[in-house]
Structure 1
């Protein structure tokens, strides 16, 4: 056989290999609903640069800076990526007044706080995150400024403020000068500042608090302006507790409106065992009927303005490790974008601020971190979990089974938040007949038998299944393997024969 003949024999396999590699390398555009967000307070995360520690007092965490900075976050990017996080949400980075470690006492909208680092270092953080296929967002304050902001002493800016100060249970916010977001000059200033930060740092998004304090026309203009800078710029937002109709903000361009209606059911459903999860399904049914894009809503257990979710578990005398795993498993398999507050991975406890924002401890048990990483990978790999719809299949006293579907892909999630092992029989017509459910988390396998799927989950355990054809012999694959061996054997044989002709005495 000539070399030319061998080449023609190998061409189909080379083409197959090239096509496979090309399809594997082709990356689908990442949407906001594909993100997994880690929210952190810059000052309390990691101190990477001691040269900016002026005013740091480790003996007074309730009132003073603790040293966290942009350099410290850069040093921990791999730590966050290994846990599966794709977006990092920073607390406000603007220059603050003395002891404004939380970022709320804004003194200058065009400077970073020197305790955190420079604008150049923030740009470096963004670039380093992008190199790791991660995104950076930060909270863009729009509702207030610090008590001593230069505007408060400028008579020409008097109408930039409301007559009443901020009224909040949070001592960081209460009594602060409140911006009048109906004032067109204030609106233009904030929009210009937002565009400046995008241009200077390449940041990927903003989180906007108190979105219900501004007219909807402002958010339409704000959204249009930032998306002129970056088509894929992300906007998330929170509204005051009790706000009912958040649909208009999503329609105005704030896709990631935080689903405040979900937080209490989330906390109540998994802070204790043997509790119904029905309220979670009720929230989703309502959201899917109201919002134009319900998968883009943000779902969270706690943030820097609330008590820690671990406190609920401790107050109810529950072991936080098991409770957190069940809670996070639901958070990562439900439709909305998971937003995880820093310290969750070590089950940080704490009351209202500032008790809830301690300096991060990286020398903790890694079990929960590894768990977060595993479920994070599953969510990233299964588009049905980030983009799919949701259908309840079974719920009773904490045993929950639901289905997620997206473009022909189906996953089934089972969470057993009860004190007993549970068996649930799901009729095939609710999933699909003559298939099998392959466990992605605990490697369980459930085949359809007699028109049913029999799902068995141990107490306080969970599983997410991928619907697939029943396992059998993959004839095309087996044939291709044999063909490769045959071609290789022929090549070796003719090479040996050619060698014999050259040296007949061997």
Structure 2
């Protein structure tokens, strides 16, 4: 076979390969709305370096360090990646006073706590996470310092503090020296420190507590400064529970990821037991669309270091944690706000308030829930309608919930059966799109429109998320083209072999 014929045969393959490569190289920018966040306490996650274990006492988790560090997190990056998490949110990493394992007793804003590791090891964590296309952020403390911080002993800094101690139900924070964020020197110091950490480590975001304890001008200047270093820098933040002020102003100030703390109780009440109506979840979303400029950027979570564990609610209600967590997480991953999962949720950690809610992580647990999280995480990443789309209720009755998400022509339908019996729901086709089909992304279910309606059947305590698509049968032209390619390639190989054999003088002897 001549070279020109060989080239003729190879051209289609080369063109296909080039087109595929170009498509793969074109990568859409990842927005904050696209993230799936894993939140952890550095000290309670994984001990990767025994050399920094001074003061560690595993018998006293209420008061002592337990050994977790940056190297330990690096060792578990694949563990987090496999579960579909795209961002890791760390507890405060600053040097703390003695036994400040939680990071709240800040003693120096420009040093890492030696129990967690060096700044070089923090850099390594950020670099290794970035190699895996994961982002890293940590909680940046702005409202308080440790009881014995050097500033508290400096008369020149008396006006850096409010007269009253830190108000909080959390014993870690209660009564700590409270910074006056109206003071321009305090603001400048904290903003300079925030910029310094970005420059030194390449960190991707900050979590900020006590948004309501600072004037809005402080957050406007803080957000502008850090985004001046990195315009895609992530900022999330919390307000005190029960705050009734206009929370949309924090998004307008530049903090997109305001934690939707009012949603947490609704989530827990809805999924810690069975046969519970779900209207309140959709009502929360409707209110958020009115209150916030960017409701999809809000943060949704079940629990954190300041709350009891969601598993405690489940156990108190005499329910099985595995099934409850699956339904709860499925809703968390299919609703519009950015999902944040607190470490240990993947093994259904139980616990009351600290230290019960922040145990040392156990990596030798049943992997069933981890695999479930990985699967729904992959679906959320693949379907942009789940991370960026709007939300519309299609059906709800006593815990059987069906809703629609739409984004740029894509439609996804989620169905969650939080009831004690199998459910059949009929959705009019004009609510979704007629003469189409719903293709299950989770359990591979398929529902075709028939007589102007879709009949969705979901077993008890099960769920499915569907992608709306055109009805299709077998794609005969495509299948035929595949066979033609293989036949042509086979003929080419046969002819090449025959010509090679005829030219081989050893085989002709």
User: What range describes the TM-score normalised by the shorter chain of this pair?
Assistant: over 0.9
Matches within 5 A, 1:78-97: 78-97=78-97
Correspondence for 1:306: 307
Q: Is the 8 A contact 2:257 2:299 kept in 1?
A: yes
TM-score with structure 1 setting the length: 0.97
Tell me how far 1:292 sits from its aligned partner: 1.7
Are 1:355 and 2:347 matched, yes or no? Answer: no
Question: SS where residue 51 of structure 1 aligns?
Answer: helix
Q: Determine the structure 2 residue equivalent to 1:162.
A: 162
Return the alpha-carbon distance in structure 1 between the equivalents of residues 36 and 190 of structure 2. 28
TM-fit CA distance, 1:493: 6.5
Partner secondary structure for residue 100 of structure 1: coil
What SS does the aligned partner of 1:171 have?
Answer: coil
Q: How many angstroms apart in 1 are the aligned matches of 2:184 and 2:345?
A: 40
Report the counterpart of residue 294 of structure 1 in structure 2: 295
User: In the TM superposition, what are the counterparts of 1:371-450 in structure 2 within 5 Å?
Assistant: 371-450=372-451
Taking a change above 3 Å as real, the CA distance of residues 167 and 498 of structure 1, as seen in their structure-2 partners, is closer
Rounded Cα–Cα distance in structure 1 between residues aligned with 2:431 and 2:336: 19
CA contact (8 A) 2:502 2:508 kept: no
Output the CA distance in 1 between the equivalents of 2:117 and 2:498. 71
SS of 1:254's equivalent in the other structure is coil
| Farther off after superposition, 51-60 or 2-11 | 2-11
Counterpart of 1:471 in 2: which secondary structure? coil
> Separation in 1 of the partners of 2:206 and 2:232?
12
- What secondary structure is seen at the aligned counterpart in 2 of 1:261? helix
Name the counterpart of 1:107.
107
Question: How big is each residue's C-alpha offset from its partner over 1:410-443, in whole Å with a ceiling of 9 and x where there is no partner?
Answer: 1110000000000000011111111111111111
Q: Which residue of 1 aligns with 2:47?
A: 47
Residues 346-394 of structure 1: CA deviation (Å, up to 9, x unaligned): 1111111222111111111111111111111111111111111111100
Quick one: distance in 1 between partners of 2:19 and 2:242? Answer: 53
CA distance in 2, matches of 1:501, 1:343: 68
Residue 282 of structure 2 corresponds to 281
Could you tell me which residue of structure 2 aligns to residue 458 of structure 1? Answer: 459
Q: What is the 5 A alignment of 1:28-43? A: 28-43=28-43
Q: Which residue of 2 aligns with 1:233?
A: 233
Deviation at 1:289, TM superposition (A): 2.5
For normalisation by structure 2, the TM-score amounts to 0.96
Shift of 1:471: 2.4
Report deviation, 1:56: 1.0
Moved more, 358-367 or 490-499: 490-499
Residue pairs, 1:151-190, within 5 angstroms: 151-190=151-190
Partner-residue secondary structure (3-state), 1:115 = coil
Shift of 1:490: 5.2
**Aligned-partner Cα distance in 1 for 2:182–2:129:** 36
Deviations 1:12-49 (A, max 9, x none): 34313321232133211111111110000111111111
Q: Distance in 2 between matches of 1:341 and 1:500?
A: 66
2:329 and 2:25 map into 1 onto residues whose CA distance is 30
Shift of 1:295: 1.0
Gapped regions of structure 2 (runs ≥ 5):
none
How far apart are residue 491 of structure 1 and its match?
3.1
User: What does 1:54-73 correspond to in 2, within 5 Å?
Assistant: 54-73=54-73
1:257-276, aligned counterparts within 5 Å? Answer: 257-276=258-277
Indicate the residue corresponding to 2:144 in structure 1: 144
**C-alpha separation between the residues in 2 aligned to 1:23 and 1:375?**
25
Higher mean alpha-carbon deviation, 389-398 vs 242-251, is at: 242-251
Change beyond 3 A, Cα 1:111–1:65: same
Q: Distance in 2 between matches of 1:48 and 1:86?
A: 21
What is residue 342 of structure 1 aligned with on the other side? 343
Shift of 1:55: 1.0
Report SS of the residue matched to 1:312: helix
Q: Give the whole-Å Cα distance in 1 for the aligned partners of 2:351 and 2:392.
A: 35
**Partner Cα separation in structure 1 for residue 197 and residue 275 of structure 2:** 48
User: 5+ residue gaps in structure 1?
Assistant: none
Q: Secondary structure at the match of 2:346?
A: helix
2-structure distance, mates of 1:99, 1:180? 25
Per the alignment, do residues 481 and 109 of structure 1 end up closer, same or farther by CA in structure 2, a change over 3 Å counting?
Answer: same
1:24 is aligned to: 24
Query: For the residues of structure 2 that align with 1:368 and 1:260, how far apart are their CA atoms?
Result: 25
RMSD of aligned residue pairs (Cα, Å): 1.8
SS in 1 for 2:55: coil
**1:132 has 2:132 as partner:** yes
* CA distance in structure 2 between the partners assigned to 1:167 and 1:211 by the alignment: 14
Retained in 1: the 8 A contact 2:247–2:291?
no
Deviation larger for 203-212 or 243-252: 243-252
**Relative to structure 1, is the Cα distance of residues 493 and 71 closer, same or farther in structure 2, using a 3 angstrom cutoff?**
closer
Q: 1:131-182: per-residue Cα shift (whole Å, max 9, x none)? A: 1111111000000001100101111101100111111111111100100000
Alignment of 1:238-253 (within 5 A): 238-244=238-244, 245-253=246-254
Aligned partners of 1:497 and 1:456: how far apart in 2?
58
Mapped to 1, the partners of 2:494 and 2:127 lie a distance apart of 54
Change (3 A) 1:277 1:9: same
Deviates further, 388-397 or 282-291: 282-291
User: Using the alignment, how far apart are the partners of 2:274 and 2:241 within structure 1?
Assistant: 27
